[in-house]
Structure 1
Amino acid sequence: MTPQSVEHLMEDIEREDPLDFGLLSIDEQDARQLMASHFCEVNEVLADQGLDIESRLEVMTAIAAHTMVENMLLNVERLKDQAADESFSDWLSQHGMK
Structure 2
Amino acid sequence: MNPQTLAELIADIDAEDPVEMGEFSIDEHDARTLMASHFCELDRRLARHGLATEERLEMMAAIAAHTMVENLVLHMRRLRDGEDGIDAFREWMGRHGMH
* TM-score grouping bracket, smaller chain normalisation: 0.7 to 0.9
Answering whether residue 59 of structure 2 is matched by residue 55 of structure 1, we say no
Q: Which runs of 5+ in 1 are unaligned?
A: 84-90
With the length of structure 2 as denominator, give the TM-score of the two structures.
0.82
SS at match of 1:25: coil
* Deviation, structure 1 residue 23: 1.9
The structure with more radius of gyration? 1
Measure, in 2, the Cα distance between the counterparts of 1:70 and 1:15: 22
With the length of structure 1 as denominator, give the TM-score of the two structures.
0.82
Measure, in 1, the Cα distance between the counterparts of 2:43 and 2:73: 26
- Alpha-carbon RMSD: 1.6
* Deviation, structure 1 residue 77: 0.5
SS at match of 2:81: helix
* Deviation, structure 1 residue 7: 0.4
**Structure 2 counterpart of 1:5:** 5
**Structure 2 counterpart of 1:46:** 46
Amino acid at match of 1:47: A
Q: Which runs of 5+ in 2 are unaligned?
A: 91-99
Runs of 4 or more, structure 1, over 6 Å off, are: none
Amino acid at match of 2:46: L
